[in-house]
Structure 1
Amino acid sequence: MQLPNDNRVIIAIGVGLAVLAAVVLALVFGGSREPAAPKAPETEGPGGLTVNVGDAPSLEPTRALRCFVDGQFIGMATLSDCARRNGLATDALDVGLDETGALAAAPTASFAPPPALPDATATAGSDVVDPYDTTLPEKPQPQPQARVERASGAPCLRFTGSDWRDLGQMSLNQCVQALYAGTCVRPGDAQYGRHGNLTLRLVPRRVEQSNDNTRFRILADQDRSCQFPSLNG
C-alpha cells in the first residue's frame, strides 16, 4: 500500500492517535476513582451554643452573659460585673441557659422566693360545734408524741405554685427523688417541697434544705442528667 506523501496528513493522524490514547488512559485510571463525599456542614446546638450548667462556673471571666437583677434582665455583663450589680459574690449566682437558649446569670431563686409554709390545720378535719349542745366535752387524754424519724418516714409535700400537695410518708432521700428526679431548673428559678419540718429547694445543680425557710444549705448535688447519684441506695 502506498503511504501518503503529504506530511500534514501523517501529522494529523499522529495527533488523532495521541488524543485517542489520552482519552482511553483517562477512562481507565480515572473511572475507578469515586468522587469524594462532600463534607457535611457543621451543625450547632440550640441557639448556636451548648453549655452544661455544671460547666458554667469555669467559663471565661471576660465572657458576657445575660444578667438579671431583682428578677429583671438588665443587659449583658461579665459574671463578676453581674455579681457586683446584685451585691453578691460570683458563687452566689446561678449560671446556665435561660429560656431563650442564651447563657445567663441570676441570683439563686431570685425568680421564685420561698413560699409560705403549709398550714398544719388546713388539711386536718374540723369539728362543727352545735351552739345548743350543752354537754361538756370529754377532757382529752394526753397522747404520747410520736417521734419522727427521717430515715423511716415523714410527710413529703410538693409546692405546686398555689398550694401544697401531699405525696405520702417516706424517707428524706425518697422525698427528694419523688420531688425532683429528672427535673432541672434554669438560673434564678427554684422548686420547693417539704419533708417533715424541712423546706427543700431545687436550684441549678443541687437540692438545698432549710430549717427556717430562709437560710438554705446544700443537701445533694445534681448531675447532668438531673439525677441525684449520692441519694441512691
Structure 2
Amino acid sequence: MTGTCPRILSIAGSDSGGGAGIQADIKTITMLGGHAMTAITAITAQNTLGVQSVHRVPTSMILAQIDSVVSDIGVDAVKIGMIGSAEAARAVAECLARLSIPIVFDPVMVATSGSTLADRDTIAAFGQLMDVASVVTPNLPELEALGGKDRILGHGCHLVVKGGHGEGPMVVDELYAPSGLVARIEGKRLDSSETHGTGCTFASALAVGLGSGLKLRTAFEQAISFTRIAIIEAPGLGQGNGPLGHQYVTDFQDLDE
C-alpha cells in the first residue's frame, strides 16, 4: 500500500438508485478511508423495487478502465461484483491474474429484488474468476449455484459464506480457508427490509481491510460489523428494499452487547 490510503478498484455494475453496485462500493470504500476507483461493467436502470433495464459495457472498455487506473494510480485490492457477461468474466480474470494483490469476488447473480444479473454462461465463467480470487463471498443461494463449499475452495481461494438468506433469529457468517473453517460469527437477525446492497457493501469493506494490510480474519470481522451497522442506519428510502446508511456508520461497536 502506498502512503496511508488504500487504493481499491471496484469492478462492478452501476445502480442508478445508488443502493448497490458501484455506488455502494464507493460509499463503503470512502467511509473506511480508502480511495475508490471503478471499472463499470454494466449500467442498470434500477431502484428499490427492482432492475428495469441493463446495458452491458463492452469487454474492451472494461479492460481499458482497469488498465487506466492500474498503470497510473496503482491498486492495493480489487472487489469484483456484477460482471455482465461470460466474455467479460474470462477477460477480467486473465487481466487480474497479472496482479499480486488481494481480490475479493462477490459472485452476483440476482439482485435483492429478485432480478437476474448473470445468465447461465456468465455463471459458468465464474470459475475463472474464482481461480484468481483471494476470497469469494457468496450468499446461500449463490453458494448452492456454484456447487457448494468444497467446489469453491477447490479453486484455492478462501470463502466467506454469508448467512443473511438463512432462517432463524441468528445470522451465521463463516470464513473458510482451503484447509477448513477459520472463523464463525453469529449476530442477531436484523428485522429490516432495507438490505439493498448488503453483499456489495460487505465485499467492498472486506477489500478495504485487505488492501489496508489487515489479516483476512480481522478484515472479515470489520466487514461484517460495518455492514450490520449500515443496515441499522438505513435512511428508509424508496418503496421496496431500501439502501443502507453507509454515511451514518461512525464506529464498529459490538452490536450484540
Q: In which range does the TM-score fall when normalised by the shorter chain?
A: under 0.3
Greater fraction of residues in helix: 2
Larger radius of gyration: 1
TM-score normalised to the size of structure 1? 0.23
Normalised by the length of structure 2, the TM-score is 0.21
